[in-house]
């Protein structure tokens, strides 16, 4: 065994070029994998904390009725030891101060609230919720105080009690645009709520119980179990169990998009490295077959000879992985800390030990996968090669057993893909797509050689290149597939990044709302619009808000589904669709942020017997499992309204326009009971306060919500995320270009003997340069072009299957990758051939001398 290690290490030292290329290629891929996996963990952690701060807990249990003692005791028994709890009662009430009054959302909280996140006040950020429960005091949004014309220290009347304004709230858990309540927030102590006298039997109120589970508990699974068991134990009690991941659909959508994108990006970095080392290893095997024959002729068994190669691959892989782990652990956090200015507040880079361990295991495991083809390539008697004359253009054939010998490698990457993206379907589809692409590249390469062979009057240079490719088919296919797949993966993630950028970025053509106006009654809508015109303002994006319940789908009642116990995720989704509250609206035209993806927009008029037409958000339609032409029946104020689905819409929710999942063809809901909402855009900062005061005085029942501050926070968050997405895309570009350079440089460097033979046969230096430059320029261009086209197809399929709203698009940068790849192939060939051309033709006969001696 000691001799095997000695021979293995000596071979690595004597082939330092191969060793260096192998280590550097695998190192870059592994460092990219480690960086992106750690960044994925970091962003997941940050977004999860953000979502938890919105909900203020891991799980929220809410109900419209106070839990009985039996229900409360049962719920507490289900909670694991170490669970922290908090409570809140929410209700609407009129807040009065002096001669002014305003409808507000009152939140009565206990000392434990919030379990996540914190309140931010205008003056003192050290105040705790304990002060609310020990004093008859309140925390109010600053805008509300302005509307009521009170200051900090003054009193606000709620029901029968006077609450002193203790703090002005700037920010609070749950105070987000996508999760905002209609009405300004007023916080009081839970122990003080009875003093208001507002919570009487029959009052509209909501009771919420917040839970923070111990770290080792899977909060999602536990919340599902508690929800299912509570429903079975108390079937007549209506409730809602909300996990933080579902607290805000928009944040959940961003988190899902980022998680999938970074997981795929890490896989691409790993695949690119695999392509590079697969090519290098194949070339290395071709060179080392004669050395293996010598070793076997000296008495070694085939297994011992193969063991030498296994030792070499494992050694190189260990060196590369240890370097990647060291750099990831020691240097990357420091580098990312320099980018703290561009990252969201509270974002911390997590260097997960599990990621470093996975990086090490992947590197070593891939070594074993790569060594498996050795058993096929050494099945023949290698000793016979010692008695064959040197053949520079030795014919190597591609056959089924050789292809099957790489199946373990394919299975290895399949397992890694599934584990990385945490989905068998996505991982398998991604790996399968790459395999199909590789097969297509192989057929394209064969097709190119066939077409060139049909060219009767081809130049001598083309004939020379064609003969080389035909006689070394396996080598040619390895180069072509490696370059084309490198180009595919090189462009795949940047293409996906352009689509994600478009999805998260607010379109410049859309107006940013300054205020949202709610509770606009039908009879005052015209008066409001007239008054706003006197203020040089226009009510934009006005839309009806009609509360409704989904009663039936295709005339099939959902009443039984509401009572049925849901077990599977599919059943729970169906039940959620059936039991949720809907806000319906009607509109004759599309917003700029909407696009019809299936079907056609509403017709101008409908016949008397024709059902009203319905437009549904396409993602929501997928959740509802409905199709075009299906009939939906909603109950509005006790009366059924049936419509037929006319189209699906794609909604850009980052437009911040008041969009609705379900739209009816007007004038279906014209006489339905409800209210209106709208936005005010481009309100100057110095006019906001006076506008709110004037509006509250003129229209006291209308709620006005200043959303500009919250929107700025959200846009800042999205901008930081987009920076990370675009930056990470360049990692795949760097790794891809490195692979192109490695393959081109190493392949041209192996042409030393062939170049010397051409010199002996009378070819001059100019002709030899021309042969290789034409070959590698053509390969670089054709592989880059084919890879780019297939990358668009693959990215489009992946985007539509996994990212829903993302649509990839070409950019000038991606088109320039064709030129960059071509130039790299050309100039790398030129550089490496310069060294090859400096060798003497006499070196061609050095092997004969070595054998004869």
Write the pLDDT tens digit of every residue in 376-414: 655 555 555 544 544 444 444 556 666 677 777 778 778
Q: Calculate mean pLDDT across residues 658-684.
A: 86
Question: Which residue has better confidence, 113 or 738?
Answer: 113
Confidence of residue 180 (pLDDT cuts 50, 70, 90): very low
In the DSSP assignment, the letter for residue 384 is G
Cα dist from 443 to 66, 437, 449, 453, 545, whole Å? 69, 10, 10, 15, 58
Q: Calculate mean pLDDT across residues 77-102.
A: 87
Of 104-113, 652-661, 833-842, highest mean pLDDT: 104-113
Cα 666 to the chain's mean position, in Å? 37
Neighbours of 845 (CB within 10 A): 12
Confidence of residue 210 (pLDDT cuts 50, 70, 90): very high
Cα dist from 381 to 293, 392, 398, whole Å? 8, 20, 18
Range list of β-strands (E), 98-172: 100-109, 120-121, 137-141, 155-158, 161-171
Q: Is the pLDDT of residue 228 over 60?
A: yes
Give residue 85's pLDDT: 93
Question: Which residue has better confidence, 259 or 86?
Answer: 86
Give residue 393's pLDDT: 41
Tens of pLDDT, residue by residue over 770-808, are 777 888 888 888 888 888 888 888 777 777 666 655 566
How far is Cα 128 from Cα 805, in angstroms, rounded to an integer?
42
Q: Within a 13 Å sphere around the CA of 69, how many CA atoms are in the beta-carbon half?
A: 0
Q: What's the whole-model pTM score?
A: 0.66
The whole-chain average pLDDT of the chain stands at 77
Share of the chain above pLDDT 70, in %: 72
Cα dist from 354 to 335, 351, 479, whole Å? 21, 9, 35
The residue written with tokens 């297994």 in the block is 303
Question: Which residue has better confidence, 441 or 489?
Answer: 441
Are 101 and 157 in contact by the 8 Å Cβ rule? The answer is no
Tens of pLDDT, residue by residue over 246-274, are 765 555 556 566 666 667 777 777 777 77
Q: Calculate mean pLDDT across residues 30-51.
A: 75
Q: Calculate mean pLDDT across residues 741-746.
A: 71
How far is Cα 559 from Cα 611, in angstroms, rounded to an integer?
23
Q: Which of 539, 829, 527 is nearest to 700 (CA)?
A: 527
Tens of pLDDT, residue by residue over 461-498, are 888 888 878 877 767 777 787 778 777 877 776 776 66
Tell me the pairing of strands 137-141 and 594-599: unpaired
Q: Calculate mean pLDDT across residues 659-677.
A: 88
- DSSP states of 578-647: HHSEEEEEE-SS--TTEEEEEE-PPPS---TTSPPEEEEEHHHHHHHT--TT-EEEEEETTEEEEEEEEE
In the DSSP assignment, the letter for residue 392 is T
The residue written with tokens 């293995």 in the block is 8
Q: Calculate mean pLDDT across residues 20-43.
A: 76
Are 479 and 779 in contact by the 8 Å Cβ rule? The answer is yes
Q: Is 643 exposed, middle or buried (0-12, 13-18, 19+ CB in 10 A)?
A: buried
How far is Cα 384 from Cα 388, in angstroms, rounded to an integer?
7
Q: Calculate mean pLDDT across residues 448-469.
A: 85
How far is Cα 843 from Cα 850, in angstroms, rounded to an integer?
11
How far is Cα 254 from Cα 247, in angstroms, rounded to an integer?
13
Q: Is the pLDDT of residue 55 over 80?
A: yes
Confidence of residue 213 (pLDDT cuts 50, 70, 90): very high
Give residue 377's pLDDT: 59
- Bridge partners of 641? 634
Confidence of residue 211 (pLDDT cuts 50, 70, 90): very high
Confidence of residue 690 (pLDDT cuts 50, 70, 90): confident
In degrees, rounded to 5, the angle at the alpha carbon of residue 211 between the alpha carbons of residues 207 and 212 is 155
Give residue 327's pLDDT: 79
How far is Cα 550 from Cα 552, in angstroms, rounded to an integer?
6
Confidence of residue 499 (pLDDT cuts 50, 70, 90): low
Give residue 435's pLDDT: 82
Contacts with 748 (C-beta within 8 Å, 6 or more apart), sequence order: 772, 776, 828, 829, 832, 833, 836
Neighbours of 719 (CB within 10 A): 14
Of 41-55, 442-456, 564-578, highest mean pLDDT: 442-456
Q: Calculate mean pLDDT across residues 286-308.
A: 75
Confidence of residue 113 (pLDDT cuts 50, 70, 90): very high
Cis peptide before 114 (omega within 30 of 0): yes
Give residue 643's pLDDT: 92
Question: Which residue has better confidence, 199 or 202?
Answer: 199
Neighbours of 272 (CB within 10 A): 29
């Amino acid at each position: 065994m000691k001799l095997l290690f000695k021979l293995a290490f000596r071979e690595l030292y004597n082939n330092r070029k191969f060793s260096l290329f192998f280590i550097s290629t695998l190192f870059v891929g592994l460092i990219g994998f480690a960086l992106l996996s750690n960044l994925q963990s970091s962003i997941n952690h940050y977004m999860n904390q953000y979502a938890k701060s919105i909900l203020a807990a891991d799980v929220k249990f809410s109900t419209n009725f106070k839990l009985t003692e039996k229900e409360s005791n049962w719920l507490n028994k289900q909670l694991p030891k170490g669970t922290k709890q908090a409570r809140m009662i929410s209700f609407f009430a009129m807040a009065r101060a002096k001669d002014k009054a305003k409808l507000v959302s009152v939140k009565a909280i206990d000392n434990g609230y919030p379990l996540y996140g914190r309140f931010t006040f205008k003056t003192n950020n050290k105040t705790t919720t304990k002060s609310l429960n020990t004093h008859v005091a309140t925390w109010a949004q600053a805008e509300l105080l302005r509307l009521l014309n009170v200051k900090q220290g003054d009193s606000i009347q709620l029901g029968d009690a006077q609450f002193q304004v203790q703090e002005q709230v700037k920010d609070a858990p749950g105070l987000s645009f996508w999760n905002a309540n209609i009405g300004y927030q007023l916080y009081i102590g839970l122990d003080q709520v009875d003093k208001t006298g507002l919570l009487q039997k029959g009052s509209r109120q909501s009771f919420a119980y917040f839970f923070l589970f111990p770290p080792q508990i899977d909060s999602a699974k536990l919340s599902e179990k508690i929800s299912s068991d509570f429903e079975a134990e108390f079937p007549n009690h209506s409730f809602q169990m909300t996990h933080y991941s579902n607290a805000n659909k928009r944040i959940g959508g961003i988190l899902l998009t980022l998680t999938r994108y970074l997981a795929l990006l890490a896989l691409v970095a790993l695949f690119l490295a695999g392509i590079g080392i697969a090519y290098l290893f194949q070339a290395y095997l071709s060179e080392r077959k004669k050395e293996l024959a010598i070793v076997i002729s000296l008495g070694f068994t085939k297994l011992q000879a193969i063991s030498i190669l296994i030792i070499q691959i494992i050694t190189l892989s260990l060196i590369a992985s240890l370097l990647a782990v060291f750099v990831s652990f020691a240097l990357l956090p420091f580098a990312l800390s320099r980018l703290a200015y561009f990252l969201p507040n509270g974002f911390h880079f997590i260097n997960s030990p599990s990621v470093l361990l996975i990086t090490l295991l992947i590197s070593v495991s891939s070594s074993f996968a790569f060594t498996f083809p050795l058993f096929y390539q050494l099945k023949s008697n290698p000793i016979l090669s010692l008695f064959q004359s040197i053949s520079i253009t030795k014919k190597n054939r591609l056959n089924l057993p050789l292809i099957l010998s790489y199946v373990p490698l394919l299975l290895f990457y399949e397992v890694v893909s599934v584990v990385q993206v945490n989905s068998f379907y996505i991982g398998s589809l991604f790996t399968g797509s790459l395999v199909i692409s590789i097969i297509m590249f192989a057929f394209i390469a064969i097709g190119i050689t066939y077409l060139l062979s049909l060219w009767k009057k081809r130049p001598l240079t083309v004939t020379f290149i064609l003969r080389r490719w035909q006689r070394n088919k396996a080598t040619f296919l390895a180069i072509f597939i490696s370059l084309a797949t490198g180009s595919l993966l090189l462009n795949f993630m940047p293409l996906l990044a352009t689509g994600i950028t478009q999805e998260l970025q607010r379109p410049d053509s859309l107006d940013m709302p300054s205020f949202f106006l709610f509770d606009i009654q039908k009879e005052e809508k015209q008066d409001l619009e007239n008054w706003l015109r006197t203020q040089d303002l226009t009510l934009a994006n006005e839309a009806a808000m009609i509360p409704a319940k989904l009663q039936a789908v295709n005339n099939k009642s959902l009443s039984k589904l509401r009572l049925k116990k849901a077990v599977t995720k599919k059943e729970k989704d169906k039940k959620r669709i059936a039991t949720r509250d809907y806000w319906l609206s009607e509109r004759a035209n599309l917003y700029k942020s909407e696009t019809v993806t299936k079907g056609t927009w509403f017709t101008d008029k409908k016949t008397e017997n024709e059902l009203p037409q319905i437009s549904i958000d396409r993602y929501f339609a997928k959740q509802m499992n409905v199709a075009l032409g299906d009939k939906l029946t909603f109950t509005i104020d006790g009366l059924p309204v049936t419509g037929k689905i006319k189209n699906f819409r794609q909604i850009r929710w980052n437009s911040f326009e008041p969009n609705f999942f379900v739209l009816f063809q007007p004038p279906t809901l014209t006489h339905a009971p409800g209210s209106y909402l709208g936005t005010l855009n481009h309100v100057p900062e110095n006019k906001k306060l006076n506008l709110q005061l004037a509006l509250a005085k003129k229209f006291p029942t209308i709620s006005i919500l200043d959303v500009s501050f919250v929107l700025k926070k959200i846009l800042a968050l999205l901008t930081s995320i987009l920076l990370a997405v675009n930056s990470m895309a360049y990692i795949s570009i760097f790794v891809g270009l490195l692979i192109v350079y490695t393959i081109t440089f190493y392949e041209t460097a192996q042409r030393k003997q062939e170049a010397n033979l051409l010199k002996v046969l009378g070819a001059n230096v100019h002709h030899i340069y021309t042969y290789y430059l034409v070959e590698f320029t053509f390969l670089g261009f054709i592989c880059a072009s084919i890879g780019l086209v297939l990358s668009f197809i693959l990215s489009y399929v992946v985007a539509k299957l996994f990212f829903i709203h993302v649509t990839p698009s070409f950019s000038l940068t991606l088109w320039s990758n064709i030129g960059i790849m071509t130039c790299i192939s050309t100039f790398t060939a030129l550089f490496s051939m310069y060294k090859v051309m400096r060798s003497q033709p006499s070196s061609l006969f050095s092997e004969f001398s070595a054998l004869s001696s």
